[in-house]
Amino acid sequence: MQPAKKEKGWVSPETHIKAVAASLGMKGVPTLIFVVIGLTWLIVATTLLFGLYKLTWDVIWHAVPQGDDEVWPWRFSLAQIAALTTVLGAVIALPLTINRLLLSRRQTETVEQGHITDRINKAVEGLGAEKTVKRDGDERTEPNLEVRIGAIYALERLSQDSERDHIQIMEILCAYIRENAGREGVALPEGEATPEEWRAWSKEGREHPRLDVDVALKVIERRGAARKQLEKEKGYRPGLERAQLRKIILSERDLTGADLRFAELQGADLGFAQLQRADLAGAQLQRAYLGRAQLQGANLGFAQLQGANLRGAQLQGAHLWAAKFDENTNLSEATLRDASLRFVNCTNIPQLTEHLEGMFGDTTVILPGGHGPEHEDWPRHWPRSKLGFRQFEEEWKKWQADPEGYVPPEPPEEDAQG
């Protein structure tokens, strides 16, 4: 007994149509439009072919013209045959011509992408350029800033020319900043430094970034709105996490949405900097100057803000979960409306008192003076229990949407009985 043959799987007509379209270099064209174009082409080609056959038949089967009255119509028929043959050939060759043009376009794009890749590689090589200099009879190697700056500008131009490579170029520049921004010899106070030691350390002076790092920062700052929108769609943010930026002057910089997680910013000058939606989680900001900084929606969770100057800073909607303050943190004239506060002991941080009514928190917060939810100073809109992460986010958004009508959730029975 012979084994039964396997039945071939049924393939829909649409699949065949898509295969034909792909073979003609029209893969991205919608199926319906491709069918309409194909039928139009078929009708035109059939009509021309039929007309050519008819004219040829008439010329073959009619007698050769004898007089002038018959010669001109006969010559006109021959001209029609020649014209129809030319047009029919062009129509028949049209799909092949389109395919050839699309193939040529792909080849051109491939060459262009290869050229851009070569330019990126050459620029990256320039970022590591060094030179040998003689000082006091000794030879030493140091960064060739002129070549490096030229490479950074070359990368900026490539970023403007190629949307496809923009994020990759931003990552290269951010990596360059992280590796080269650190200042040599800027040591932190040893051990558990006292506020006085931090103050003395911060008075030693700040410096601007090295020239090449400064140029790289400016390139990141001035990327256009279209490129920022692309980054948002791709979920990318300039990554300066863990960068060593101690005592670096970054005032008035546009670092909107930057990733500065765990960055070493002790004593840095970030006055008037644009840091909206920036991620500063775990950032070291002891004795940093953030006066009038724009920090709306920024994430300052676990940030070290001991002795930081936040005078006049805009912190609307910022996350301050487990942020570290002390009695020397300057919050005068700062705006903390709609900010969230969790896991913060405010016992010795009286400067937060005037801001609490405009913020949102739960019982993970200890009020200035060591008070808890049973105290009369407990903000009326704060829940009197510890909320889970998701629930806290939900309640925070509800309060932001309707501060006057918001009613905090009742504590669980075990909390109420306790």
- Considering the domain architecture, whether residues 263 and 296 belong to the same structural domain is answered as yes
Note whether residue 5 is domain-resident.
no
Pairwise CA distance, residues 324 & 329, whole Å: 9
The DSSP H or E segment spanning 319 is strand 319-321
- Considering the domain architecture, whether residues 146 and 254 belong to the same structural domain is answered as no
Determine whether 225 is exposed, middle or buried from the number of CB atoms within 10 Å of its CB (0-12, 13-18, 19+).
Answer: exposed
Q: Which amino acid is at 380?
A: R
Task: Residue 328: give the domain boundaries.
Answer: 243-418
- Considering the domain architecture, whether residues 121 and 267 belong to the same structural domain is answered as no
Domains contained in the chain, number: 3
Structure tokens at 297: 């929606």
Residue 395 DSSP SS3: helix
Note whether residue 187 is domain-resident.
no
- Considering the domain architecture, whether residues 122 and 162 belong to the same structural domain is answered as no
- Considering the domain architecture, whether residues 342 and 372 belong to the same structural domain is answered as yes
Structure tokens at 275: 């840091």
- Considering the domain architecture, whether residues 224 and 295 belong to the same structural domain is answered as no
- Considering the domain architecture, whether residues 212 and 345 belong to the same structural domain is answered as no
Note whether residue 82 is domain-resident.
yes
- Considering the domain architecture, whether residues 270 and 289 belong to the same structural domain is answered as yes
- Considering the domain architecture, whether residues 70 and 219 belong to the same structural domain is answered as no
Report the percent of the chain where pLDDT is more than 90.
56
Note whether residue 3 is domain-resident.
no
- Considering the domain architecture, whether residues 74 and 97 belong to the same structural domain is answered as yes
The secondary structure of 82-146 as a DSSP string is: HHHHHHHHHHHHHHHHHHHHHHHHHHHHHHHHHHHHHHHHHHHHHHT-EEEEEETTEEEEEE-HH
CATH of the domain at 254: 2.160.20.80
Q: How confident is the model at residue 76 (pLDDT cuts 50, 70, 90)?
A: confident
Q: Which residue has the higher pLDDT, 378 or 7?
A: 378
The closest of 237, 310, 302, 240 to 270, measured between CA atoms, is 310
- Considering the domain architecture, whether residues 293 and 406 belong to the same structural domain is answered as yes
pLDDT of 418 above 60: no
Note whether residue 269 is domain-resident.
yes
pLDDT digit string, tens, across residues 299-351: 999 999 999 999 999 999 999 999 999 999 999 999 999 999 999 999 989 99
* pTM, entire model: 0.72
